[in-house]
Amino acid sequence: MLIIGEKEAKTDNVSVRKHRVGDIGLMGAENFVNLIKDEISKSISKFGS
C-alpha cells in the first residue's frame, strides 16, 4: 500500500506498507521502484523453481 499524504507530498516521498509485514517506511520514488522490481523478481523466481 502506498500512502501519499501532506508529509509525503512536502518531502517528495511515499510511505510504504506491505501486506502481512506492516510499515516499511518512507522512501523516494527511485527506492520504491527498486523495491517493486525486487519483489517482482522474487515472485517470478518462485514460479521458475
**Residues present in the chain in total:** 49
Can you give the residue ranges of every domain in the chain?
2-48
**What value does the mean pLDDT take over residues 33-49?**
87
**What value does the mean pLDDT take over residues 21-49?**
90
pLDDT exceeds cutoff 70 at 49 = no
pTM exceeding the 0.85 threshold for the entire prediction:
no
Residue that is written with C-alpha cell 518531502 in the block: 11
Q: Give the closest residue to 26 by CA, choosing from 11, 10, 15, 12.
A: 15
